[in-house]
Amino acid sequence: MKPLRKAVEDYIALRRSLGFKLRDMATGLTEFVAFLEQKEASYITTALALEWAMQPVDHQLSDWARRLGFVRVFARHWSATDPRTEIPAAGLLPFRARRAHPYQSVGSASARQSSWSGKMWISTKDSSPFAKPSSTRPV
């Protein structure tokens, strides 16, 4: 079985040949392999993946979740070759980007438009746009 460093290099080359750029992921996985070598680990464990992902203590949860995602994707690939590989669960470092709520003031155009929608009048006698309506009724 080939070492993890060679496996990561082959995985990145494979994904890039399929058209993926993998800028951040390639750097992250290379750093993760260096971390595993420093810990003298021969296979990926969930505990080591979490420890590496949470290393920059001053970073945000979104950075940690992204780093763990790099390991999760590679571990899923590598588990077919090395059955000792643990795939970190999806909810270990949960993060969902929250969308900003739109701000709508009372005087905004859409608020005025919705208040005017019930006050539209159309002519019932003449369909010409230039004719003055003689009789009108609400829509």
**How many CB atoms lie under 10 A from the CB of residue 72?**
21
Residue 139 lies in a domain: no
Q: How confident is the model at residue 109 (pLDDT cuts 50, 70, 90)?
A: low
Domain that holds residue 74: 4-78
Q: Is the pTM for the entire model greater than 0.85? A: no
Q: Is residue 18 part of a domain?
A: yes
Work out how many domains the chain is built from and give that number: 1
61, 93 contact by CB (below 8 A):
yes
Instruction: Tell whether 56 is covered by a domain.
Output: yes
In a domain, 36, yes or no: yes
Tell me the average pLDDT of the chain.
81
**Residue 115 domain flag:** no
32 within some domain: yes
